[in-house]
A and B are shown apart, each in its own frame.
Chain A
Amino acid sequence: MRNQQATQLLFELDRPGRRAHQLDAPDVPMPSIDALFDVDDISQAPPPLPQLAEGDVVRHFVGLSTLNMSVDTHFYPLGSCTMKYNPKRNERIASMPGFASVHPMQASSSVQGLLKCLHELQGMLAEISGLPGVSLQPAAGAHGELTALFVAAAYFQSRGENRRVVLTADSAHGTNPASAQMAGFETQTVKSNADGLVDLADLEAKLGDDTAVFMLTNPNTLGLFDRQIERINQLVHDAGALIYLDGANMNAILGITRPGDFGADLMHYNPHKTFSGPHGGGGPGAGPICVRDFLAPFLPGPIVDLDEESETFELLTPEQSIGRVRSFFGNVGVLLRAYIYIRTYGGDGLRRVSEDAVLGANYLLSKVRHILDVPHGDRCMHEFVASATRLKKQSGVSAMDLAKRILDYGFHAPTVYFPLVVDEAVMVEPTETESKQTLDAFAEALFRITDEAGDLVHDAPHSTRISRPDDVTAARKPILKWSEAEPSSSSDS
């Protein structure tokens, strides 16, 4: 039943002579290319792209889309990624020509409507974070982290302080140490304690007068809010260092607590997570950052500023700005969707979002802990991390097996093998946009899998077009592009 046009490659559908997009002859004289350009600069033939009819292209890509699970089609409890419903009004409004067809080099006077939205968004993000300085420039969460670290470096340089070390938690996203390294810092890892929270003794031991920033994820990647936060705040600031908050888990705390109120000096948002994205198959995202007032002079530009007198919006770059981290303004399309989302809910609504995210996660946790071990307690914020260690010992079913088999039940898998501090980790984030019925069905499926015969689970998934791809050969003998020499057998049976 599967349409072959989807699983063949574009390059195998290629038939020389086929055309899709064509242009009529230009309405101006066509100069001689050979006469105009240096012969060394031009090529005789255009690049060897495939030649296809429009019908080929549409059927191919529409067919391919059906091989994806997505939030629109499936429950997607991928921990740490906040796969919530992506509102359709966001898409329609952000696609209006007055937003989507605006050139980035237009004069500010010609984009006052758009700048008004972005200016309001800056204010909203400041209010939600409790941190007044906002830059919307970074293109993704990891990019926001890096940008904030550039800001921290500039701040310390301006004070003549030589602080070279960034501390990251062992449960942190890998982007934390990678960003710190790119920003020119050395990294040291702070351990988690038995409760999955920051090991205060280890933090204290590693803090020193060379510590620039402690990068904290709170709620952390185990889905726990670190209740020692006031002590952490005191320790880090007493050492003269700054606290960076990885805002990946903001969906748990909107209107409940604010990073600026619990001690963070800098943070990034993931609007594609917290403010309903969408995730776009891996991107685009955005990574706006918020900072305390004394760090705001170092933010990258441009920032939208309201001239109260003339009531016009302008683009400004702060005096001591680090510079820019991306071309043009930033990922405006993603930011607009966040703006629309926040406008849709309002302040009270956002708190309800987080409360329901916490409710859903704790409810699912109350079911799952009868099926799998949950090493870090029976309460969580917006997500929790179970472990398949016991199951693996008893029946040989690993976290990976669980993840693969759950696909057969029509659910996307949780995140597995992250965070690294939990063995056989199964990280579940249901989000607030799933019903109790869906959560019940998911827990029921997990329960049934633990009862299933080993082979059935080891060989899963069974209902997908492919199963258990060979990652080892893919990495050992990488095939990173189609070429005529490669075998083209692709027939589905």
Chain B
Amino acid sequence: MSRKPETLHYASTHEWVDIDVVDGQQIATIGISAFAVEQLNDLVYMDLPEVGRKLSAGDEFGEVESVKAVSPMYSPVGGEVIKVHAELPDSLDSLNDDPYEFGWIIQLKMEGDLPDSLLDHDAYQKQCAEAG
């Protein structure tokens, strides 16, 4: 399976979310966009939440650091953390190459609906182009 950026939802704060349905339950996989990874430049550290933490849409779930900047990561959707990508902090290099597949950060058992504020790929690309 390979996740295609075109099919994902994006928060204006540069997180992506992919929704799967497993046994009738919506599972949200969350990461940060290629644009964000590029902007942050040379990531050095990532702080991840513990499994079981409950998040509302828009809550900070962790931080990613470059040498001289810290960026909080916000959950695009609400739910309970059921999985964290524990190997990721030790292979931040790979995040540059593969932000959408290997670069997944957390999985949530989703609660509530997909917020209206999320952008589709085109709208997100447009936002990035304006910022860049």
Q: A interface vs B, CB < 8 Å?
A: 417, 471-472, 475-476
Contact = CB atoms under 8 A, between A and B. Distances in A.
Interface string B17-46: 000000000000000000000000010110
A417 B69 CA distance: 12
- For the complex, would chain A's binding face be called helix, strand, loop or mixed by DSSP majority? helix
B75 to A, nearest CB: 23
Nearest to A471: B67
B66 to A, nearest CB: 8
B92 interface: yes
Q: Which 7 pairs between the two chains have the least Cβ-Cβ distance? A: A475-B44, A476-B44, A472-B42, A471-B67, A475-B67, A472-B67, A472-B44
Contacts of A417: 68
Contacts of B45: 475-476
A476 B92 CA distance: 9
Interface of B: 42, 44-45, 65, 67-68, 92
Contacts of B65: 475
Contacts of A471: 67-68
7 contacts: A417-B68, A472-B44, A472-B67, A475-B44, A475-B45, A475-B65, A476-B92
A476 B45 CA distance: 6
Contacts of A476: 44-45, 92
A407 to B, nearest CB: 19
Nearest to B44: A475
Nearest to A474: B67
A427 to B, nearest CB: 16
A170 B65 CA distance: 21
B45 to A, nearest CB: 7
A416 to B, nearest CB: 11
Contacts of B67: 471-472, 475
A471 B67 CA distance: 7
A475 B44 CA distance: 6
A2 B45 CA distance: 36
Nearest to B42: A472
A247 B92 CA distance: 41
A378 to B, nearest CB: 31
Which of A417, A471, A475 has the largest count of B CB atoms less than 10 A from its CB?
A: A475
A476 B67 CA distance: 9
A389 to B, nearest CB: 16
Nearest to B89: A476
Nearest to B41: A472
A476 B89 CA distance: 9
Contacts of A472: 42, 44, 67
A222 B44 CA distance: 31
Nearest to A473: B44
A472 B44 CA distance: 6
A475 B68 CA distance: 10
A173 to B, nearest CB: 16
Given A472-B44, A472-B67, 11 more contacts: A417-B68, A471-B67, A471-B68, A472-B42, A475-B44, A475-B45, A475-B65, A475-B67, A476-B44, A476-B45, A476-B92
Contacts of B68: 417, 471
Contacts of A475: 44-45, 65, 67
A79 B44 CA distance: 28
Nearest to A417: B68
A280 B45 CA distance: 31
A478 to B, nearest CB: 9
A357 B45 CA distance: 42
A471 B68 CA distance: 9
B30 to A, nearest CB: 23
B92 to A, nearest CB: 7
A475 B45 CA distance: 8
A283 B42 CA distance: 31
Which of B42, B45, B68 has the largest count of A CB atoms less than 10 A from its CB?
A: B42
A45 to B, nearest CB: 35
Which of B44, B65, B68 has the largest count of A CB atoms less than 10 A from its CB?
A: B44
B71 to A, nearest CB: 15
B122 to A, nearest CB: 30
B47 to A, nearest CB: 13
Contacts of B44: 472, 475-476
A476 B68 CA distance: 12
A151 B65 CA distance: 34
Contacts of B42: 472
A269 to B, nearest CB: 29
A471 to B, nearest CB: 5
A202 B65 CA distance: 30
B69 to A, nearest CB: 11
A417 B65 CA distance: 18
Nearest to B93: A476
A471 B41 CA distance: 12
A417 B67 CA distance: 14
A169 B38 CA distance: 29
A287 to B, nearest CB: 25
A417 B44 CA distance: 20
